[in-house]
Structure 1
Amino acid sequence: MHRVLRPLALAVAATFALPAHAMTDAELDAIVAKRLHGDRTGACFAVAVIDGAVARSFTCAAADGSPRIGAHSAFEIGSVTKTMTSTLLADLIERGKADLDDPLADYLPEGTAVPEFEGAPILLRHVVTHTSGLPALPPGGLVNDMADPYAKLTPQDLLAALSDVTLDRAPGTGFEYSNYASMLLSYAVARRAGEGMDALLRERVFTPLAMDGAHLSDPPAGVRTATGHTPNAQATGAWHFDPALAGVGGVRATLDDMVHYVQAHLGQRPSALDAALERTRQPVETASGQPMAMNWMLAPLEGRTVHAHEGGTGGFSSFVAFDTERNRGAVVLSDTALTSVGGLGSLGLHLLDQRVPLGAPRKATQAPVDLLDALVGTWQLQGGPRMEVRRKDDALEIQAPRQPAFELGYDDAGDFYPLAFDALLRPQQSADGAYRFTWHQGGGVLAARRVEADATAALASAPALAPAQLGEYAGTYPLMPSMALEVRVQGDTLFAQATGQGAFPLAPVAADVFEAAEYGIEIRFERDDAGEVTALALHQGGQILRGARR
């Protein structure tokens, strides 16, 4: 359940209905207040509409008091950064130093094992359209800290992990949003340009477009870094990136920085970047059929096209969209991560087209009693922990094995949410009237399966094994070229530990079968004819990794 930098899912009206006059700050304030006031996330938004003039709003869910953000606040813009990395690549193309049909391998160190499919290489056009075939995140458990998932990744990690990737289709034939590919692009662009990503962005994007507050690391004088929040209104830490990989999502910017960026795309802020910006907006053809420009999502509307991208980190959300034909754009920056509760797309697109639903604040309310009772029980998350759901007065609480219980709130959108951390329990009613739910956390969505009472009792009665019996399973089991699972006995418990990760206990559930319910892991050991343990198969989230004992 790793947090990932998220793409935008576009849903727009068939035609635009634009106001006859430029929007005023007061009019924008009223629209944002209608969407945000009373929202249980406690979020604050910095919003702008660009239509020749610029209207700005700084509004918080709490209607009373001054907003905690303002004109000098810098927000993490997350994946919107990718469009700026594409601008750097487009600039290289304009200067004859790159081409979209170049293989990605040509931009990486010699000897790097970049996967191909039946001789077809990954091209740069595949990377900027998310059709490379590379997974969303690098394999091997390299992203394992939900609080700051990319902080420990290095270029060397990403390059080495390429040898663990096998493409299951030709590059360009399928759309799969990949932060892994975008990190490689960040590294490749900086390497080809011969400068660090920080300097490249500052010299070739921020300075030409007067984005004076935009930065990767240290904020410029007068710029205050906003504090990020989870959607349960708790402050959370910033995300960090290796400088060479920061083109995936590391930019921090003020509202006016992003206004200047949109104005440049609308032709309202001429600069030496005009040709490169125009190139990023052009459709990039692939066999996938997915409408994409260079890291811009495209939505065709009555012969016109909206360019858009949404971003999300652990404590922030962002949305940028513009219609070059109608000369109108919108920017929405939030100091709260809102991906799990729908993001910013509805507000941002409403500001471009009033017929797109605005959306409404999520307000805390009392859950129906029959719904509370229907969800009580033991649930197994697919690829995640087992959870007990219990009544706590007029609310629910959840508890995973060997963890404390957490109370859940409920909002008028129909979702339960922990009061102490960022997650979402979304109930769903089947045709027969029975309830189930999905668990949303860290960018992942896990289906929950009710565990019947007899299965729970059987698990509780599983016999304990003596240390000598547990010792039969001890050993090292390579699962991938860069990851092995070490199994060892500590006291009267069997523990497993993957390369670079923490150890976790294993509980016996059947002959040669153990599980770590907290992580949705089941391990099945295999024996030879002589009864010796020779291998194991690790089952998690629908995937199976097998390793022979050594």
Structure 2
Amino acid sequence: MRLPLTFALLVATGTAAAEPLETTIDRLAKPYVDSETVVGMTVGILRGDDQAVRGYGRFSADDSRTPDGKTVYEIGSLSKVFTGLLLADAVVQGRVTLHTPVNQLLPKGVELQPHGDQLAELWHLSTHTSGLPRLPDNLAPSDPNNPYADYDGKRLGAFLNSYRPRKRPCEVIEYSNLGAGLLGLCLAREQKTDYASLLQKRIAKPLGLSDTTIKLDEERRDRLAPPHTEGGVPDHNWDFETLAGAGAIRSTADDMLTFAKAFLDPQEGELREAIGLSWCVHQKPIEDSDFAMGLGWHVARDDQTRWHNGQTGGYHSALFINRPLKVAVVVLTNTATMEVDTLAQDLVRALAGADVKPREFEVSDDVPAEVLERYVGKYRLAPGAEFTVTTKGGKLLVGLTGQPTFQVFSRSETEWFYKVVEATLTFKVDGKGNCTAVELFQNGVRQTAERIE
């Protein structure tokens, strides 16, 4: 997932930069909890030699614990930065090169087809320039609430053998969970291990990341904040098998700050050279909308901030690092909402000295349960694209075929808005109180989905 960073060159001006770190976090983070945008959240920041970690909200409706620096979260696609570092580490060790063909590390009988005579190389997987799609077309999870859990090597091999790239490597930057997951698999195979073990051996242990892992023991599972959809509805944890390098890692704010510190000021040690290699720009923007890429890292418009975010079914994460300013920000939440990306950006700007005001969130109106129930059903937007409307705990949830289910919020009994995107839904009710259709308004276009169930 990506967000439209538009950082200009950031220069500290003095006033806001001198504000105590805890005050800065509290001032900007509390509106996210007060508005129920997130259920629970941990925020950590570094500024020079100073560090602060603050927790907000609660683990869940049934668990009043306040998250802290030791709370465990799924970090989703932030895992791609770790996978990029594993690639850099393997290059520094001399095990592979950035230009090693992907096919050289695939199992016998599995081959990624070239576009013409151009073969995808390892660095293409880390910079999203391999020509692979975002996801394989045979993902087809048995449990849609845990979409990667049963995607195994056999299914991946079948996809790779049959897929014909429509673009040659480096023709476009196309964000690919498949590519990053494939990279993690290749690097683990080269060292005759699995991704989880490689992560522990080559990154977690050398950097002292005691809670950065994939599989949780009983003690860490007790510290795992339960997942929620946007709006606070309980959701499901995600598990990964073959594509672990795309998003399988769990971590804490304390560990993520330690990781960020290693990139802010690389120290002598076995990973210093690899950190430098992964930080470098390896792919410049191709289209105006692209970000430059390190190995796994996105490079913001200011050409100095490295960042990545991540989201699974019930979590969101964001990490931003700016070396010239000597600042880093990590935001981890047990709520699947991209709203916190704005918080991370605002914290970086505040640490740079900008006068950043706390956000104000639109407040949803209360709607009686009997009104919600009249909307429950399915609505056909187009062939193969249907809205599924459900209720849970007094909340209205809407899912579109092939996309996650999100809570929508009321402006009136019939008009509802999303927080994850700029879009509204208007339910059409006849004179008898029956809902017959729902109108989607997004990007200036109105589309009507007729009720089918």
> Do Structure 1 and Structure 2 share a fold, with TM-score over 0.5?
yes
* Cα distance in structure 2, aligned partners of 1:407 and 1:322: 31
Distance 1:169 1:415, change over 3 A: farther
* Cα distance in structure 2, aligned partners of 1:36 and 1:130: 32
Is residue 50 from structure 1 mapped to residue 46 from structure 2 by the alignment?
Answer: yes
Matched to 1:437, the amino acid is L
* Cα distance in structure 2, aligned partners of 1:148 and 1:388: 18
On the 8 A contact 1:380/1:448 being kept in 2, the answer is: no
On the 8 A contact 2:178/2:243 being kept in 1, the answer is: no
Distance 1:68 1:267, change over 3 A: same
Partner of 1:382: 382
Q: Which has the higher contact order (CA 8 A, sep 6+)?
A: 2
Match of 2:32 among 28, 31, 36: 36
Distance 1:12 1:227, change over 3 A: same
Partner of 1:350: 346
On the 8 A contact 1:48/1:330 being kept in 2, the answer is: yes
The CA deviation at 1:49 is 1.0
Mapping of residues 131-530 of structure 1, within 5 Å: 131-143=129-141, 145-219=143-217, 221=219, 224-242=223-241, 244-267=242-265, 271-285=269-283, 288=286, 290=290, 291-301=292-302, 304-339=303-338, 343-354=339-350, 355=354, 359-365=359-365, 380-382=380-382, 384-386=384-386, 409-410=409-410, 416=416, 426-427=423-424, 436-437=439-440, 449-450=447-448
Q: Deviations over 1:409-462 (max 9, x none)?
A: 4269x98369xxx99892289xxxxx95259xxxxx9x873268xxx9xxxxxx
On the 8 A contact 2:134/2:174 being kept in 1, the answer is: yes
Match of 2:10 among 5, 11, 15: 15
The CA deviation at 1:378 is 9.8
Partner SS state of residue 301, structure 2: strand
**Consecutive unaligned residues in structure 1, runs of 5 or more:** 1-5, 390-394, 401-405, 430-434, 440-444, 457-516, 519-550
Distance 1:357 1:111, change over 3 A: farther
Partner of 1:498: none
The CA deviation at 1:106 is 1.0
* Cα distance in structure 2, aligned partners of 1:147 and 1:313: 10
Q: Deviations over 1:4-56 (max 9, x none)?
A: xx3344232453446443733243222211x3142234421100110121111
Matched to 2:155, the amino acid is D
On the 8 A contact 2:6/2:301 being kept in 1, the answer is: no
The percent of aligned pairs where both chains have the same amino acid is 25
* Cα distance in structure 1, aligned partners of 2:398 and 2:176: 32
Match of 1:86 among 84, 87, 99: 84
The CA deviation at 1:232 is 2.4
Partner of 2:433: none
Partner SS state of residue 336, structure 2: coil
Distance 1:218 1:170, change over 3 A: same
Distance 1:378 1:333, change over 3 A: closer
Distance 1:285 1:27, change over 3 A: closer
On the 8 A contact 1:183/1:248 being kept in 2, the answer is: yes
The CA deviation at 1:98 is 1.1
Matched to 1:56, the amino acid is V
* Cα distance in structure 2, aligned partners of 1:46 and 1:190: 31
Matched to 1:100, the amino acid is L
Distance 1:245 1:221, change over 3 A: same
* Cα distance in structure 1, aligned partners of 2:344 and 2:447: 36
Matched to 1:322, the amino acid is I
Mapping of residues 71-150 of structure 1, within 5 Å: 71-143=69-141, 145-150=143-148
On the 8 A contact 2:127/2:294 being kept in 1, the answer is: yes
On the 8 A contact 1:228/1:235 being kept in 2, the answer is: yes
* Cα distance in structure 2, aligned partners of 1:425 and 1:84: 31
Partner SS state of residue 207, structure 2: coil
The CA deviation at 1:136 is 0.9
Q: Deviations over 1:218-248 (max 9, x none)?
A: 2484661111111121222210011x53121
Distance 1:151 1:383, change over 3 A: farther
Query: How many residue pairs were aligned?
Result: 412
Distance 1:67 1:399, change over 3 A: closer
* Cα distance in structure 2, aligned partners of 1:105 and 1:397: 43
* Cα distance in structure 2, aligned partners of 1:321 and 1:315: 21
Q: Deviations over 1:156-214 (max 9, x none)?
A: 21121112322112111101111111111111010112222122111211111111111
* Cα distance in structure 1, aligned partners of 2:108 and 2:91: 21
Distance 1:347 1:423, change over 3 A: closer
* Cα distance in structure 1, aligned partners of 2:247 and 2:163: 23
Distance 1:17 1:364, change over 3 A: farther
On the 8 A contact 1:415/1:424 being kept in 2, the answer is: no
Distance 1:306 1:26, change over 3 A: same
Matched to 1:288, the amino acid is I
* Cα distance in structure 2, aligned partners of 1:122 and 1:316: 32
On the 8 A contact 1:48/1:54 being kept in 2, the answer is: yes
Matched to 1:182, the amino acid is A
* Cα distance in structure 1, aligned partners of 2:172 and 2:165: 11
Partner SS state of residue 346, structure 1: helix
Partner of 1:479: none
Partner SS state of residue 236, structure 1: coil
Distance 1:358 1:101, change over 3 A: farther
* Cα distance in structure 2, aligned partners of 1:411 and 1:50: 39
* Cα distance in structure 2, aligned partners of 1:378 and 1:79: 31
Deviates more, 1:90-99 or 1:219-228: 219-228
Distance 1:296 1:144, change over 3 A: farther
Displaced runs of 4 or more, over 6 A: 395-400, 422-425
The CA deviation at 1:325 is 1.6
On the 8 A contact 2:416/2:425 being kept in 1, the answer is: no
